[in-house]
Structure 1
Amino acid sequence: MKFNTKLCLIAAGTAAFAAIPSAAMAEGVYIGFGAGVSLPGDSENLGEFNATVPATPDFGAIPAGTPLGWNTGFDTGLALSGQVGYKFDNGFRLEVEGNFSQVDVSGHNGFQVGGANIDGVDVAVLTRGAPAAGNPTVGAFGATDTGRVNTYGLFANVFYDINTGTAIKPYVGAGAGVQWVDVRYQPSDVRISNDTASGFAYQLMAGATYELSSRAELFGQYAYRANTERADIGLDLLPATLGVESNQSVLTAGLRLKFGN
């Protein structure tokens, strides 16, 4: 995410907090729990070689600094979250949230080294083995994957609940925080990465609550959550670092318990 966009997000969050009147009366503390599904976006992985890959009789050397990359697809995964918040009687809520998601990798495609597509090249170009008729191509090697990506997030959120005069209250919200991205890429059961990186992340949310009683309510929520920059992941198969994107749509349902007045 560009620096100007980060400034806009920070400014918007600051304005939202400033909009809460200092004299607002608190309804009190609540805790919440949610579970649902993660719908991850594809990752355009971009990186470069950290060291030179020596030449072999069949393949030329790959100099340090040579760019590499490929695209990765994911399956629908699991999402969990827990919240501790403070609700005001003017509709605003402040919240700290911890969340977790896990998605399986479906496969990779569009492998490039130095700007050249190598999907149709013998996989030995990467392993530095000898080409053979029985070897898969790079594209076939990456077509299936038994790996996964886990994310762990800690966010500060601000919400506004819309008072409809009924038990159902729609709401909107936004949050910012830190997200750890734990990447295991394992195409054709060959582990090529198992690393974790953290970075600044944000989320935009919309949902609705249904009041069960003065102490409990159900909620359903949609969130778009993303890291602002790629997570730098070290590779095991190659002397390279890969920047992995992390963005997902998250659908959750859950329960809030209120401890205020």
Structure 2
Amino acid sequence: MADNEVYQYSIISALVDGVASHGTPISRVLEHGNHGLGTFRNMNGEMIVLDGEVYQMKGDGSVLRIDPEETVTPFATVTRFQPEVTSKDTISSKKAFEDILTGLFPKARNHFLAVRLDGVFRKIVVRTAGGQIRPREGMVDVCSRQTTHTFENVTGTIVGFRCPQYVMGVNVAGDHFHFITDDRQRGGHILELQSEGEVEVAAAQMSTFYMELPTEDDEFNEAELRLQAQSIKSVEG
């Protein structure tokens, strides 16, 4: 794949329906990108792909560097990230950053964006999911047991995507970001953020999208995969 093309394995509605027992080797996902998000088998933790390295941010607050040859993912989105726009901005809130991103790409309402932020953050609130406790348990129930963590005056990196509204159910429409500290010891799915002064913002607009669906997976074949937009928003918003 070329730079700034989206590759996605499976769909977010499959996680909503609890399709998470199997997946594809993460090493295959990394053939398509070095920057991205996802989860792990049984939705056990949050995935961040940063500079081609994969980290698992677990429900107990720990972070593991993952061997991509030995681990599978039931859902992931990646790209070969090449920034098209860079800036330095002070971010007062997650909503304020959404507005900054819109200002950087005013004509990208119906396109994908890949995003990276680096710097010092006054406050970041994240959540991490602890995983399924029974087969085919849906994402909403899994995330009802999520753990939240608050980091203050921390240096790290935010990785994520903005997806257009028409892909809701295939992916998460809107902004979806994960955070990891510079020491790779803490992180998670971002709920709130505020920077300590200016941070570096890098982003790229993307117009090419590739999707691979699971094969020979009974859970996926039997799932209804109906759009449950409100459930996705409640978990990923």
Shorter-chain TM-score bucket reads under 0.3
Greater strand proportion: 1
Which of these two proteins has the greater Rg computed from alpha carbons?
1
TM, length-normalised to structure 2: 0.24
TM, length-normalised to structure 1: 0.22
